[in-house]
């Protein structure tokens, strides 16, 4: 353990990331002091399960502490008295069982904040645009309280199995899983989604406490290579949101090119405004967003001669500069966890979504194959269920031999 920690320390001290940090903050050493040690194990308790009170009593018994700033209505979050993955003996077995049965979800604490910012209410229709492994999706489901719908999208084949597994173990009835390139998700719903979470692919420069590879691999050019994708994903999310709806953009990156630069480009071209987080993320320690940032080469040094696209540069428009100050920067040393960036956007209410409803998932004239796509159960199967069990819940869906239970919103 000591040797491993020394290795992490050396990686960090000689990293491009630490050099870059000296151009982003006046006190990079303070940031570094809270960016190397292992993260503690943190979990979320699922209040949709009847046993949640017992789970919380057990967590208290083993010395876990409630996370004070966690303010979700349908769950609680806890810091356990050991590092991630270091539980032993009976405690390890119980944690594994609780997670496997959906009573708790292992999730990094700072990763819970974007869903808090989304402020999901029961009955809403929500899109989690880049959802695997599903911890934020299940957090959204807990806030829906089994009323509404969250569509969990994941493009990568090697990640969607993890998403399916995590949603199934959670046991809620509000999740629907799709597989699309987020930039090309069809426009569904009459007016658009109520809320969309856009937790985009990023370089992960805020995740050094759980992933030492970041110290070795992170380069400013990596941020620039993802910038266009991040802009396109957020642009699509705004198009899919109903007027007056909320979009939360988040990354586990600290590089302004992946964060404030993306938001600035969005403000130039999309009908949204940034909401202040002051009354939304109460008790969570954060700094405001940057309005200026340097050009960095792949040594992490300032280089004003770099030829970057305009969308990656600090804004000159006064309304954008003022808006970026409402963005949320969560620093490792301020929250004693990982770093994160969050921007809470609201689509302007006077926008008309003329093309919502076009290009839906299915051609309305085509009957889907029941073996390849979920369909509401038919009369014959419903009568069979009533005969065997005495009653049949509403909104049952069938795909092949598998039956799922969903909500009214999934029928729309």
- What does the angle CA 317 – CA 319 – CA 322 come to, to the nearest 5 degrees? 110
Residues 6+ positions from 53 with CB-CB distance below 8 Å = none
Contacts 24+ apart (CB under 8 A), 392-400: 398/370, 398/374, 399/370, 399/371, 399/372, 399/373, 399/374, 399/375, 400/370, 400/371
Q: Which of 175, 202, 252, 327 is catalytic?
A: 252
Q: What is the DSSP string of 347-387?
A: E-TT---TTTTSS-SS-TTSPPPTTTS-EE--HHHHHHHHH
Eight-state DSSP code of residue 296 = B
Query: Are 348 and 272 in contact, with CB atoms under 8 Å apart?
Result: yes
**Rounded distance, CA 76 to CA 59, Å?**
11
202 belongs to the catalytic site: no
Query: Are 327 and 260 in contact, with CB atoms under 8 Å apart?
Result: yes
Eight-state DSSP code of residue 302 = B
Annotated catalytic residues are 252
């Amino acid at each position: 353990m000591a040797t491993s920690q020394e290795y992490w320390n050396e990686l960090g001290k000689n990293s491009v990331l630490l050099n870059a940090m000296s151009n982003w903050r006046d006190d990079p050493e303070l940031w570094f002091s809270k960016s190397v040690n292992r993260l503690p194990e943190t979990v979320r308790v699922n209040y949709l399960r009847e046993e949640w009170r017992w789970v919380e009593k057990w967590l208290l018994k083993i010395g876990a502490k409630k996370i004070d700033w966690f303010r979700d209505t349908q769950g609680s979050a806890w810091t356990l008295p050991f590092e991630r993955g270091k539980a032993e003996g009976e405690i390890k077995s119980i944690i594994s069982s609780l997670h496997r049965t959906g009573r708790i979800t292992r999730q990094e604490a700072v990763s819970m904040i974007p869903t808090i910012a989304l402020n999901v209410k029961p009955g809403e229709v929500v899109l989690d645009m880049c959802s695997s492994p599903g911890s934020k999706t299940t957090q959204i489901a807990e806030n829906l309280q089994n009323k509404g719908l969250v569509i969990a999208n994941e493009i990568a084949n090697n990640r969607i199995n993890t998403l399916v597994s995590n949603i199934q173990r959670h046991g809620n009835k509000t999740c629907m899983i799709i597989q699309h390139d987020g930039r090309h998700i069809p426009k569904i719903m009459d007016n658009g989604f109520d809320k969309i979470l856009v937790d985009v692919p990023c370089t992960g420069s805020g995740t050094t406490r759980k992933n030492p590879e970041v110290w070795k691999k992170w380069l400013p050019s990596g941020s620039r290579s993802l910038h266009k994708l991040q802009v396109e994903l957020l642009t699509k999310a705004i198009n899919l949101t109903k007027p007056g709806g909320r979009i939360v953009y988040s990354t586990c990156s600290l590089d302004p090119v992946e964060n404030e630069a993306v938001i600035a480009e969005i403000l130039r071209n999309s009908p949204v405004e940034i909401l202040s987080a002051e009354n939304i993320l109460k008790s969570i320690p954060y700094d405001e967003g940057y309005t200026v940032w340097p050009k960095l080469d792949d040594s992490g040094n300032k280089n004003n001669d770099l030829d970057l696209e305009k969308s990656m540069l600090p804004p000159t428009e006064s309304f954008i500069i003022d808006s970026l100050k409402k963005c949320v920067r969560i620093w490792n040393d301020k929250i004693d966890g990982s770093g994160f960036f969050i921007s809470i956007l609201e689509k302007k209410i006077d926008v008309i979504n003329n093309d919502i409803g076009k290009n839906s998932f299915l051609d309305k004239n085509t009957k889907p194959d029941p073996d390849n796509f979920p369909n509401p159960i038919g009369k014959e199967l419903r009568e069979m269920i009533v005969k065997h069990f005495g009653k049949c819940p509403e909104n049952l869906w069938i795909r092949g031999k598998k039956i799922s239970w969903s909500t009214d919103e999934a029928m729309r």
